[in-house]
Amino acid sequence: MGKFKSHILVCGGTGCRASRGEEIVENLQAALQENGLHKEVQVVRTGCFGFCEKGPVVKMVPDNTFYVHVEPEDASELVLEHMVKGRKVERLLYLDPETKERISDSKHMGFYKKQYRIALRNCGFINPENIDEYIARDGYAALGKALVDMQPDAVIQMIKASGLRGRGGGGFPTGLKWELTRKSVADQKYVVCNADEGDPGAFMDRSILEGDPHSVLEAMAICGYCIGADTGLIYIRAEYPLAIQRLKTAIDQARDYGVLGNDIFGTGFNFDVEIRYGAGAFVCGEETALIHSMEGLRGEPTVKPPFPAERGYKDKPTNVNNVETLANIAPILLKGSECSVRSVMKRAKEPRFLPWPGRSTMWGLLRYPWALPCAKLFLILAEVSKAAKSSRPCRRVDLRGAA
């Protein structure tokens, strides 16, 4: 983030931007300039913090003061009180719905304190349009480790050992899918990222692409190395303009830094990524329909076999993973068994995205254990949501999606 004494992190996700988030950034920068702090304090546009109901969100670093429902008109007060006078702006602090106390640090908030973030590790912390900030958080270290220190089969075995499964809904073992694609013999193979998120109220993949696009690019390159592909394709719906813009920026930066393109890390490995746009058809979230859409055909599923690992895009072996699956790859390579899905499940912390919309005082994007029994999950959600916007008690939680 540069050599600044403090940073002001402003949520730059779609939700907060729609609530005048960009005006907040501009007003904060103007207030810092006015108070002579522009060389000591930096304003950073981040990805989504997840706590969408309390947006726009602003976080002060290094003291981790978390402000909610911030308006552009609050910028001058935040700079004057917090940065100049060293006092918290109490009225903008989070109000605990149970204790009625103001909480300044997000780690003490019910919404965050039981979450376990891997895929969301950088969202709300770094500027997604600055590759240097991603690198400062061990970005592209996993790709370097794979290319320099590991053979493709060893990487695949590590992914298999982690127990990681597809996050798009099918739950197919990720390492096994990579292995099957690697074993397919062809002169050309493809890595496809499925960013066609069609469920109403679902915004998990969009949040990752808006907040940490390099994590997806890095994982695609690792996958390409493992299966023998030199081309990656991201299929994303056109109604995600911010995610698309940040992906384009990330791809350009990755090429400039040599982590995409030819002879990556001097290893002779070539890999590049292109974007393909979808028109929003729900069915195109299914991998064979997605492939047909990318080929310019009607987006309709086909009977399997053959699977994409055998014959996919342009009739070539193709590995298809969704955004959330890919965002988990780099930590597995860097942390090994520590980040293993099975070992984390034993600690009841294996993480899975949970979009939490509806009539709740705490809706947003959460990251909770996959292995929890439903009864325990309901207790956590009840604690997170505390009081619905109604005097009536919560009687049911509907776990179904649109599909």
Q: What is the pLDDT of residue 394?
A: 59
Interval 254-306: pLDDT, tens: 999 999 999 999 999 999 999 999 988 888 888 999 999 999 999 999 998 99
Considering Cα of 201, then 288, then 248, then 263, what sign does the dihedral take?
Answer: positive
When mean pLDDT is compared across 99-103, 211-215, 261-265, the lowest value belongs to 99-103
Q: Is the pLDDT of residue 213 over 80?
A: yes
Q: Is the pLDDT of residue 326 over 60?
A: yes
Distance CA 65, CA 104 (A): 5
Query: What's the chain's average pLDDT?
Result: 86
Number of residues written out for the chain:
403
Of 269, 278, 257, nearest to 192 by C-alpha is 278
pTM: 0.87
Verify cis geometry, omega within 30 degrees of 0, for the bond prior to 200. Answer: no
Interval 302-320: pLDDT, tens: 998 999 999 999 999 999 9
Q: Who contacts 304 (Cβ-Cβ below 8 Å, separation ≥6)?
A: 288
Strands 231-237 and 190-195: parallel
Query: Mind listing the domains of the chain with CATH numbers?
Result: 6-108 (3.40.30.10), 138-337 (3.40.50.11540)
Of 19, 25, 14, nearest to 242 by C-alpha is 14
Look up residue 127 and give its two tokens: 């500027």
